[in-house]
Structure 1
Amino acid sequence: MNHFRKEILNILLIAILSVNAFCYAQKSNVSASEIKTEKKKKNKRKKKVRLPHIDLSHWKVTLPVANAAGKPIEISPPEILNFANNEVARPYMYIDSTQGAIVFHAMPTNSKTRNTKYTRSELREQMVPGDNNKNWTFGDGAYMKGKLAMEETTRGANGKYHRTIIMQIHGRLTNEQRDLIGEDDNNAPPILKIYWDNGKVRVKTKVLKNLSATNEELLHEDAWGDDDGFNFEQRVDFNKFILEVKVSDGKMVIVLNKNEYKVYDNIHIKRWGVFENYFKAGNYFQSRDKGAYSKVRYYELEVSH
Structure 2
Amino acid sequence: MFLQKPAVIPSLFSLIMCCTTIANEKHTLNAALPPGHNFELLDWNISLPIDTNKDGQVDIIPAVYLEKGFEYKPYFYTADDGGMVFTAFVEGVKTSKNTKYTRSELREMLRRGDNSVNVKGVTKNNWVFSSVRGQTQRQAGGVDGTLKATVAVNNVTVTGETTQVGRVIIGQIHAKDDEPARLYYRKLPNNTKGVIYLAHEPRKGNEQYYEFNGSRASNIEDPIDGIALNEKFSYVIDVKGNTLTVSLIREGKEDITHVIDMTDSGYHKRDQYMYFKAGVYNQNNSGNPKDYVQATFYRLENSHTGYNY
Q: TM-score range by the shorter chain?
A: 0.5 to 0.7
Whole-Å separation in 1 of the counterparts to 2:32 and 2:85: 13
Number of the residue aligned with 1:225: 206
CA contact (8 A) 1:65 1:109 kept: no
Number of the residue aligned with 1:145: 148
Number of the residue aligned with 1:55: 40
Query: Aligned pair in 2 of structure 1 residues 68, 83: CA closer, same or farther (>3 Å)?
Result: farther
Within the alignment, does 1:294 sit opposite 2:293 as a pair? Answer: yes
Number of the residue aligned with 1:268: 264
Secondary structure of 2:49 counterpart:
strand
Within the alignment, does 1:248 sit opposite 2:237 as a pair? Answer: no
Whole-Å separation in 1 of the counterparts to 2:278 and 2:30: 25
What TM-score does the superposition give when structure 2 sets the normalisation length? 0.67
| Structure 2 counterpart of 1:205, from 200, 203, 207 | 200
Secondary structure of 1:255 counterpart:
strand
Query: Aligned pair in 2 of structure 1 residues 109, 263: CA closer, same or farther (>3 Å)?
Result: same
Is the radius of gyration larger for structure 1 or structure 2?
A: 1
Number of the residue aligned with 1:22: none
Whole-Å separation in 1 of the counterparts to 2:276 and 2:30: 31
| Structure 2 counterpart of 1:169, from 144, 151, 173 | 173
**Cα offset, 1:160, TM superposition:** 8.5
Secondary structure of 1:143 counterpart:
strand
Counterpart residue identity of residue 300, structure 1: R
Whole-Å separation in 2 of the counterparts to 1:129 and 1:112: 25
Counterparts of 1:1-305 in structure 2 under 5 Å?
49=31, 53-66=38-51, 67-84=53-70, 86=71, 89-96=72-79, 98-114=80-96, 115-130=98-113, 131=117, 132-133=119-120, 134-139=125-130, 140-157=143-160, 158=162, 162-172=166-176, 188-198=177-187, 199-208=194-203, 223-227=204-208, 229-233=209-213, 234-238=225-229, 239-257=231-249, 259-269=255-265, 271-274=266-269, 275-288=272-285, 289-290=287-288, 291-305=290-304
Whole-Å separation in 2 of the counterparts to 1:120 and 1:295: 10
Whole-Å separation in 1 of the counterparts to 2:245 and 2:69: 32
Query: Aligned pair in 2 of structure 1 residues 82, 248: CA closer, same or farther (>3 Å)?
Result: same
The alignment covers a number of residue pairs equal to 224
CA contact (8 A) 1:83 1:93 kept: no
Whole-Å separation in 1 of the counterparts to 2:283 and 2:69: 24
**Cα offset, 1:279, TM superposition:** 0.1
Query: Aligned pair in 2 of structure 1 residues 266, 120: CA closer, same or farther (>3 Å)?
Result: closer
CA contact (8 A) 1:76 1:129 kept: no
CA contact (8 A) 2:156 2:168 kept: no
**Cα offset, 1:193, TM superposition:** 0.6
**Cα offset, 1:159, TM superposition:** 11
Whole-Å separation in 2 of the counterparts to 1:159 and 1:171: 26
Counterpart residue identity of residue 295, structure 1: Q
Whole-Å separation in 2 of the counterparts to 1:282 and 1:301: 10
Query: Aligned pair in 2 of structure 1 residues 50, 273: CA closer, same or farther (>3 Å)?
Result: farther
Whole-Å separation in 2 of the counterparts to 1:170 and 1:192: 7
Whole-Å separation in 1 of the counterparts to 2:30 and 2:43: 28
Whole-Å separation in 2 of the counterparts to 1:80 and 1:126: 12
Secondary structure of 2:180 counterpart:
strand
Counterpart residue identity of residue 142, structure 1: G
**Cα offset, 1:110, TM superposition:** 4.2
Whole-Å separation in 2 of the counterparts to 1:50 and 1:196: 29
| Superposition RMSD in Å | 2.3
Unaligned runs of at least 5 residues, structure 2 = 1-28, 131-142, 188-193, 214-224, 305-309
